[in-house]
A and B are shown apart, each in its own frame.
Chain A
Amino acid sequence: MANYLAALDEVFVALADPTRREVVRHLGRGPKSVGDLAREFPMTLPSFLKHVRTLEASGLISTAKSGRVRTCELRRDRLAVVDDWLADQRRIWEERTDRLESLVTDPKEQS
């Protein structure tokens, strides 16, 4: 929980840039190599790689190298961070109530 806000910061910073949002959108359709992605953007490869590194640092994407090809993949769990903090709190309380319920309805507890 302590890292939650730090994670939010990084994700918001990463998504604040239109190029990076576009990368996220592309990867929403499935993993792609850096080379294939870079061709979609009118910029030099080094500039593009900077964006990839920012996205990777935020945890929004992961990359893996196989031979000479680096493949990027969207990490949906990270994207969920921006989804809705209130939904998060609701889930915490729902699950908390589930556990409370199962404790107080446990036959062993009645004795």
Chain B
Amino acid sequence: MNPELDLTLERVIRAPRAAVWLAWTDPSRFEQWWIPSPLTCRVDRLEVRPGGAMVTRMSEDGTNFVPHMDASFLVVEDRERLVFTNAIDSTWRPANPQPVAMTAEITLSDHPDGTNYHVTVTHADPQARAHHEQLGFLEGWGTVTDQLAEIAESQGR
């Protein structure tokens, strides 16, 4: 876990593990929460097994769909754990997803009130960062950050 690249979140969901698992693995349910409305999500492939494909598309108008996620499952443990990554696409081809490649691990465990839902997402170094360095921006960056702080503070006045 690298705090500059990775994130975790934990939530107690007041529903049984089986329901949470179903929401992740049943395409018609997955479509309902994966992408925020008003965007529409369409699941092309959701093969919940190690090496299986996870391919979703999204649409603004419900008619024209554009690619959203093209990933592969790495680990699938029934009602307990899901790991997938978009660093390789659904055909296992090494990918270069934007804005940054990630591996997400979802774990479910029992909780007196339902399900303890835990997410860990690890990220590659984003290209933005490399780009940032290419620009010779490192020195200037401190200044920008100061200025951003100043701007934010001036708003408070």
Q: Which residues of A contact B (CB under 8 A)?
A: 1-2, 4-5, 8-9, 12-13, 15-16, 18, 21, 24-25, 28-29, 74, 79, 82-83, 85-86, 89-90, 93-97, 99-105, 109-110
24 example contacts (A-B, Cβ-Cβ < 8 A) are as follows A1-B98, A1-B99, A5-B99, A16-B140, A21-B147, A25-B150, A28-B151, A79-B151, A86-B7, A86-B123, A89-B7, A89-B121, A90-B7, A93-B7, A93-B119, A95-B36, A99-B36, A100-B20, A100-B23, A101-B13, A101-B15, A104-B15, A105-B14, A110-B19
- Asked whether B11 lies within 8 Å of A79 as measured between CB atoms, the reply is no
- Asked whether B20 lies within 8 Å of A104 as measured between CB atoms, the reply is yes
Chain B residue, CB-CB nearest to A74: B151
- Asked whether B11 lies within 8 Å of A109 as measured between CB atoms, the reply is no
B61 lies within 8 A of chain A by Cβ: no
Task: Please report whether the interface of chain A is mostly helix, strand, loop or mixed according to DSSP.
Answer: helix
Query: Do A5 and B127 form a contact, CB below 8 Å, given A99-B36, A101-B11, A104-B15?
Result: yes
B126 lies within 8 A of chain A by Cβ: yes
- Asked whether A94 lies within 8 Å of B150 as measured between CB atoms, the reply is no
